[in-house]
């Protein structure tokens, strides 16, 4: 770690006192020298810097935190077992906080309320400056309450309490975006294989799809068929769409996994994609979207941006400008082979 080696640095890390002693000054002077304050002569400063380097001195953030009043840490609470959302969101937050400035505690509550409370206690004990709560469903989740001493931002799954601050994916816009793309490439007979109808995500996407179809003067082919988020349902749903007999030239699938299932069945039936039927889906989950034949055009929900926004909202709240309510992050269309031949 230290640039020009030779330091012992075994055992306990060096303290400012040791640096000061080695440099032959007081801790006050050493502190000022290291922090670029103006009360130190150039020669003294250099002596301190050399001493700090020799000892591989790293200021103890715990002590700094106690003085400054803020710890420079944030807690990220999740119960997302697969880590599908949490990692991108965490990376976005890291970006916004500035790497090295703020560190993030990641805790997985595993859908367990007791474990969650446990983690919150621990995080508050460590005096985190804020809390980011990531849900794995889009459904609103129970609020942590308002008696917490730090700002809380809910991400992906909004808080059921409107007075809280939430950042969510804009599923309605995503639904519109999907249909607009299909219409843009000339499709007119659009069907929809939905996910689990108990999820707000499924309902919102359906609403967006309906609105965009209406805007284009079109009517959806068949009902939105609800099922689960699985590939198996994608196969079943696509089967139902074909069996209904109505001609179809595009299918919107509520997730990449559903789309994979649908592609699978269409291939079995000899239906060409995108020639006969274009397929578009949501999530843009890397390996799923790019592993298929053809690759999936998909709507990306910009998780990283959601994390960034969450961090910004925590900053704002700390600065005394809380922003209650729910903010939606705009999704992004990623075009691949399942809707266009060229791509």
Token reading at 259 = 């789309």
Residue 236-255 contact track with a copy of itself, rule CB under 8 A, x = bound: --------------------
Integer Cα distance of 291 and 284 in angstroms: 11
Integer Cα distance of 149 and 289 in angstroms: 42
41 binds DNA (CB under 7 A): yes
Q: Could you tell me the CA-to-CA distances from 336 to 24, 124, 223, 248, 333 in Å, in that order?
A: 66, 45, 26, 20, 10
Q: Using the structure block, give the residue that is written with the tokens 């994979």.
A: 260
Buried b (16+ CB within 10 A) or exposed e, 40-50: beeebbebbbe
Q: What is the closest distance, in whole angstroms, from the C-beta atom of residue 100 to DNA in the complex?
A: 15
**Alpha helices for the chain (secondary structure H):** 16-23, 27-34, 42-54, 61-68, 86-97, 113-125, 171-184, 200-215, 231-243, 256-268, 286-291, 303-318
- Using the minimum distance from each CB to DNA, give the nearer residue, 39 or 160: 39
- Using the minimum distance from each CB to a copy of itself, give the nearer residue, 44 or 71: 71
Token reading at 13 = 């890390």
Integer Cα distance of 215 and 227 in angstroms: 26
- How many residues interact with DNA (rule CB under 7 A)? 32
Which residues does residue 104 pair with via DSSP β-bridges, in sequence order?
74
- Using the minimum distance from each CB to DNA, give the nearer residue, 17 or 110: 17
122 binds DNA (CB under 7 A): no
12 binds a copy of itself (CB under 8 A): yes
Q: Which stretch binds a copy of itself (CB under 8 A): 111-119, 167-175, 194-202, 242-250?
A: 111-119
46 binds DNA (CB under 7 A): no
Which of the listed partners (DNA, a copy of itself, none) does 197 bind, with a CB threshold of 5 to 8 Å by partner kind? none
84 binds a copy of itself (CB under 8 A): yes
- Using the minimum distance from each CB to a copy of itself, give the nearer residue, 116 or 170: 116
Q: Which stretch binds a copy of itself (CB under 8 A): 184-192, 211-219, 284-292, 314-322?
A: 284-292
60 binds DNA (CB under 7 A): yes
Q: Which residues within the stretch 8-37 sit at the binding site for DNA (CB under 7 A)? A: 12, 15-17, 24-29, 31-32, 34-35, 37
Is there a contact between 132 and 77 (Cβ–Cβ < 8 Å)? yes
End-to-end Cα separation, the chain, in angstroms: 46
Is there a contact between 174 and 340 (Cβ–Cβ < 8 Å)? no
Is there a contact between 111 and 79 (Cβ–Cβ < 8 Å)? yes
Give, to the nearest 10 degrees, the angle between helix 171-184 and helix 200-215.
40
Among 28, 63, 330, 343, binds a copy of itself (CB under 8 A): 63
- Using the minimum distance from each CB to a copy of itself, give the nearer residue, 78 or 212: 78
Q: What is the closest distance, in whole angstroms, from the C-beta atom of residue 65 to DNA in the complex?
A: 9
Which of the listed partners (DNA, a copy of itself, none) does 57 bind, with a CB threshold of 5 to 8 Å by partner kind? DNA
Q: Which residues within the stretch 133-172 sit at the binding site for a copy of itself (CB under 8 A)? A: 145, 147-149
- Using the minimum distance from each CB to DNA, give the nearer residue, 26 or 219: 26
Q: What is the closest distance, in whole angstroms, from the C-beta atom of residue 331 to a copy of itself in the complex?
A: 19
Q: Which positions lie near DNA, rule CB under 7 A?
A: 12, 15-17, 24-29, 31-32, 34-35, 37-45, 57-60, 63-64, 66-67, 69
């Amino acid at each position: 770690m230290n640039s020009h080696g030779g330091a012992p640095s075994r055992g306990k890390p060096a303290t400012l006192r040791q640096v000061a002693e080695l440099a032959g000054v007081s801790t006050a002077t050493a502190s000022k020298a290291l922090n670029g304050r103006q009360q130190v002569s150039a020669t003294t400063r250099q002596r301190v810097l050399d001493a700090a380097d020799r000892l591989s001195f790293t200021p103890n953030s715990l002590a700094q935190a106690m003085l400054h009043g803020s710890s420079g840490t944030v807690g990220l609470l999740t119960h997302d077992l697969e880590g599908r959302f949490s990692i991108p969101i965490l990376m976005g937050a890291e970006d916004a906080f500035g790497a090295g400035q703020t560190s993030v505690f990641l805790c997985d509550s595993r859908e367990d309320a007791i474990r969650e409370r446990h983690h919150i206690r621990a995080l508050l004990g460590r005096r985190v400056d804020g809390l980011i709560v990531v849900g794995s469903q889009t459904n609103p989740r129970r609020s942590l309450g308002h008696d917490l001493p730090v700002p809380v931002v809910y991400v992906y799954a909004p808080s059921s309490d409107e007075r809280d601050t939430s950042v969510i994916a804009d599923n309605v816009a995503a639904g519109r975006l999907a249909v607009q793309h299909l219409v843009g490439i000339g499709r007119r007979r659009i069907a929809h294989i939905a996910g689990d109808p108990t999820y707000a995500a499924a309902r919102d996407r359906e609403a967006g799809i309906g609105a965009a179809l209406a805007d284009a003067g079109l009517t959806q082919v068949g009902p939105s068929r609800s099922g689960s988020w699985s590939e198996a349902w994608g196969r079943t749903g696509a089967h139902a769409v074909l069996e209904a007999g109505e001609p179809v030239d595009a299918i919107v699938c509520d997730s990449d996994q559903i789309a994979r299932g649908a592609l699978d069945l269409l291939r079995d039936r000899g239906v060409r994609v995108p020639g006969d039927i274009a397929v578009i889906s949501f999530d843009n989950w890397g390996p799923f979207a790019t592993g298929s034949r053809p690759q999936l055009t998909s709507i990306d929900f910009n998780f990283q941006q959601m994390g960034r926004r969450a961090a910004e909202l925590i900053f704002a709240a700390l600065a005394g400008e809380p922003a209650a309510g729910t903010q939606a992050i705009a999704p992004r269309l990623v075009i691949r082979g399942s809707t266009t031949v060229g791509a």
